[in-house]
Amino acid sequence: MSEVLAETPDYIHANLLETADYWLSLGLVLGLREPTHAQQLLQVIEAHEAERGELERDATGLISEVFQ
């Protein structure tokens, strides 16, 4: 997200952060309530990522920053 914010005008940062917050919250709820579907969705998303595994690395980094 910091890369996106660095590449965009300041006046749209609030909207970008709000959108990211929404999708993150949606993903957390999906992961908790429907873990099988969440895993399948993540596989679909990763299959279309330019760099496979980027989401997993980002998630690992976030976990290490927040919980350790």
pLDDT score of 10 more than 80: yes
Write down the domain spans for the chain. 2-67
Alpha-carbon distance 43 to 39, whole Å?
A: 6
- Stretch 3-10: mean pLDDT: 93
pLDDT digits (tens, 9 = 90+) for 15-67: 999 999 999 899 999 999 999 999 998 888 878 776 667 777 888 888 898 88
The pLDDT score that the predictor gives to residue 52 is 62
Q: Where are the beta strands (DSSP E) in 1-68?
A: none
